[in-house]
Amino acid sequence: MLKITATGNLTNDVELKSHEDGRPYAILRIASDRRYRAKDGTQLTDFVSIKVRGRLAERCAAMAYKGCKLAAAGDFETIAFDDDPSRQPGFLIKGTEVEFLSPRKANTAAMAAEANREAAGMPESELIAG
């Protein structure tokens, strides 16, 4: 078994998707700068796609956000682009582990409280700070 570990910053918010049978999955795309620069001085960046499934996908959609740092580990999978044979095969990591390395967003608790208040039909003046 080949196990790959990648660490980087998430390039966009996580979008939870579903297979035809209803099982959830998400594609995480991370960017990581190389430790060295090109000869002309520009910073080189690598992008890696990670596919997570099931409860891990749901957890990533709930906790990860654009720009957060995370580490993911899993198996290596080669992808063939059948719709465009001129494209070179790519790869992704089939993520089995994801570790969130950035702190949670500060407004996550406030957003959850607001959503709960709206669901309960409470006016803002009755919201009790906790």
Mean pLDDT by 10 residues, the chain (130 residues): 90 92 94 92 92 94 92 89 78 92 65 52 45
120: in domain: no
- CB atoms < 10 A from the CB of 72, how many? 24
Question: For position 94, what pLDDT does the model report?
Answer: 94
Closest CA to 31 of 45, 51, 52, 16: 45
Distance CA(111)–CA(46), nearest Å, equals 33
Total domains in the fold of the chain:
1
Strand partners, 38: none
33: in domain: yes
Question: For position 77, what pLDDT does the model report?
Answer: 85
Closest CA to 13 of 31, 25, 29: 29
Question: For position 113, what pLDDT does the model report?
Answer: 54
123: in domain: no
39: in domain: yes
Distance CA(8)–CA(21), nearest Å, equals 31
CB 23 within 8 A of CB 53: yes
Q: What is the CATH number of the domain that holds 9?
A: 2.40.50.140
Question: For position 108, what pLDDT does the model report?
Answer: 52
117: in domain: no
Residue type, 53: R
CB 8 within 8 A of CB 30: yes
| pTM of the entire predicted model | 0.71
Question: For position 116, what pLDDT does the model report?
Answer: 53
Domain region containing 8: 3-103
